[in-house]
Amino acid sequence: MGRYTGPRCRICRKEGTKLFLKGDKCFSDHCPFNDKGYPPGDRHIKFAGKMSDFGIRLREKQKIRKYYGLSERQFKIFFHRAERLPGKTGENLLALLERRLDNFVFRCGFAPSRAAARQLVGHRHFTVNGKIVNIPSYILKVGDVVKVKEKSRGVEIIHHNLSKAGRVEELSWLQIDKAKLEGKLLTIPTRDQIPVPLNEQLIVEFYSR
């Protein structure tokens, strides 16, 4: 199955929480998630009820997968990679996802959403340590510097989003230089440094069933 291209707000309504998939539009008072306090479709009332343990774990897995914009296959690859690392699998998974190039570009404030960041990376607007990288899933290492390449320094969406300082969260594991249009990964983020309102342990339990 290909990537979902339908309404983003429909995803948030289905999962019952804001996943901020549309950038600034998610902060609007007229966001469909705020206007419609129920899941999409006509049958939500008829089938509403207590969710099973399996359903709870499945929904949490779907939330985090959609939060980072990954397909099922991509997400499984990252999960199994996290399993092989020392430490807690759930925390390793989040650290890997946060170190994806598209997510890092978003965290630095160069794009209004992860989807926009993925597109900018794919269009070869960024370099990593001086070399152009157009793979959104590229995993950054500590010390890597992500920079807007010289020919892309006039891209309007980048400057427009950086001007909205309130939209960019200050994270201790990365360093942003707005003047140079670059960001640096200072350290691998720990769980308490990752502002993701999801329960990664439920995802581990989902795949361990």
| Secondary structure string (H, E, C) spanning the chain | CCCCCCCHHHHHHHHCCCCCCCHHHHHCCCCHHHHCCCCCCCCCCCCCCCCCHHHHHHHHHHHHHHHCCCCHHHHHHHHHHHHCCCCCHHHHHHHHHHCEHHHHHHHCCCCCCHHHHHHHHHCCCEEECCEECCCCCCECCCCCEEEECHHHCCCHHHHHHHCCHHHCCCCCCEEEECCCCEEEECCCCCHHHCCCCCCHHHHHHHHCC
The answer to whether residue 15 sits within a structural domain is yes
Same domain, 92 and 109: no
Q: Which residue has the tokens 């510097």?
A: 145
Q: How much is the pLDDT for 170?
A: 82
Mean predicted confidence (pLDDT) in 154-158: 93
Question: Across-strand partners of 108?
Answer: none
Same domain, 62 and 107: no
The answer to whether residue 1 sits within a structural domain is no
The answer to whether residue 168 sits within a structural domain is yes
Same domain, 14 and 85: yes
pLDDT over threshold 80, residue 12: no
The answer to whether residue 3 sits within a structural domain is no
Q: Which residue has the tokens 């929904």?
A: 59
Question: Across-strand partners of 127?
Answer: 132, 147
Q: How much is the pLDDT for 55?
A: 87
Q: Which domain holds residue 140?
A: 100-187
The CATH number given to whatever domain includes residue 171 is 3.10.290.10
Provide φ and ψ at 131, rounded to 5°.
-115, 135
Same domain, 178 and 201: no
The answer to whether residue 2 sits within a structural domain is no
Same domain, 82 and 147: no
Same domain, 120 and 179: yes
Same domain, 109 and 78: no
- Which tens digit of pLDDT belongs to each residue from 70-109? 999 999 999 999 999 999 999 999 999 999 999 999 999 9
Residue count of the chain: 209
- Split into its structural domains, the chain has a count of 2
Query: Could you give the C-alpha distances from 51 to 55, 174, 180, in angstroms and in order?
Result: 6, 38, 49
Same domain, 174 and 200: no
Of residues 84, 102, 103, the one with CA closest to residue 92: 84
Same domain, 180 and 201: no
Q: What is the pTM of this model?
A: 0.81
